[in-house]
Amino acid sequence: MNILITGASGFIGSFVVEEALRRGMNVWAAMRKTSSKKYLTDNRINFIELNLDSPAELAGQLTGLELDYVVHAAGATKCLRASDFNRVNYYGTRNLALAIRQTQPQLRMFVFISSLSVYGPVKDSRPDEDIKITDTPVPDTLYAQSKLEAEKFLDSLEDFPCVTLRPTGVYGPRETDYFMMAKSIKGHTDFSVGYRPQHLTFIYVKDLVQAVFKAIAKGKNGSKYILSDGNTYQSRTFSDLLCRELGNPWVLRIKAPIWILRIVTWIGEYAGRLRGKVTALNNDKYNIMRQRNWRCDITPAKEELGYKPEYDLDRGVTEAVKWYKENGWL
């Protein structure tokens, strides 16, 4: 079986590559020339450079591959310019899908990794209710808006086998955003915002990869699936587990009002533009952190795909921090 994985050098993509190799698949890893192959050292990997900005060039690059499956894990979560979200997440997905449809008529399944954030604060006014697959998305970040537009385009294609996955916050080895929380706690500071209770959900990267291959095997064409570990956590649970795994260092816990975060992210985004560098402290981050209810219903994924999350937050954080330590990140 031939599988193409975009974003193969990234956090999620590199784990998908590893699992595909473990299953004996013939792997094509799509990545940019400038991307690192640090986690892609297996000599069975076939590397390919794809120009997601050009449908015509993509068609030429894909001709002759005879792909059975495509996992589209490439995407931008932070951008210097607002237009880059659409260029990468919407147009990149659109161009890839059109080229795949043109050159790969035998394709069995295209798996698109979207995000739970497409729903936005749809259940913030009802904090005890889960976000469900049937809820109407109301995205409030540029990232989520671009992902939702990509979903809509894929939905519009006729005779194109596609499943969309909407994972909540993904963490694990090699991930850099949640890692910053661990680094901060090691440096004796834990920063949080907002005084209203916050209900959070997570998914360990290996559980997401499990869902990818369940979708390949059992996903219904046109279906969408919300993914998490099946639990809901309070705002301090993640940081408390990090503290435990880091040996319980003394920590100064700072809880600031939302308006402080608004100022910090505005300054961060403005400074990033001046320096020409992407920053995690941006307007999207503000909207994500102010959202209070991320609890979600994964029943369709469990019933239709046979998805069974193996990592709760306790087990996942333990394994992730162990990896960070062993690889010199902490």
> What is the total count of domains within the chain?
1
Q: Provide the pLDDT for residue 164.
A: 98
Would 82 be classed as within a structural domain? yes
* Structural domain contains residue 182: no
Say what the pLDDT of residue 15 is. 98
Q: In the prediction, which pLDDT does 289 show?
A: 81
Domain assignment present for residue 191? The answer is: no
Amino acid at 272: G
| 248 within a domain of the structure (yes/no) | no
Sign of CA dihedral 252, 257, 258, 264: negative
Q: What is the CATH number of the domain that holds 15?
A: 3.40.50.720
Question: Contact 67/28 with Cβ under 8 angstroms?
Answer: yes
What is the distance between the alpha carbons of residues 228 and 165, in angstroms, rounded to a whole number?
11
What does DSSP say about strands 69-72 and 46-48: parallel, antiparallel, or unpaired? unpaired
Which of 118, 116, 223 is CA-nearest to residue 167?
A: 116
pLDDT band, very low/low/confident/very high, at 195 (cuts 50, 70, 90): confident
281 belongs to a structural domain? no
* Residue 51 in domain: yes
- Residue 230 zone, left/alpha/beta (φ > 0; ψ -120 to 50; rest): left
User: Rounded to an integer, what distance in angstroms lies between the CA atom of residue 210 and that of residue 195?
Assistant: 35
Would you say residue 75 lies in a domain? yes
Q: What percent of the chain shows pLDDT beyond 90?
A: 79
Answer yes or no: is pLDDT of 269 > 80: no
Mean pLDDT of the chain, nearest integer? 93
In a domain, 13, yes or no: yes
Question: Which structural domain, as residue segments, surrounds residue 6?
Answer: 2-170+203-228+295-310
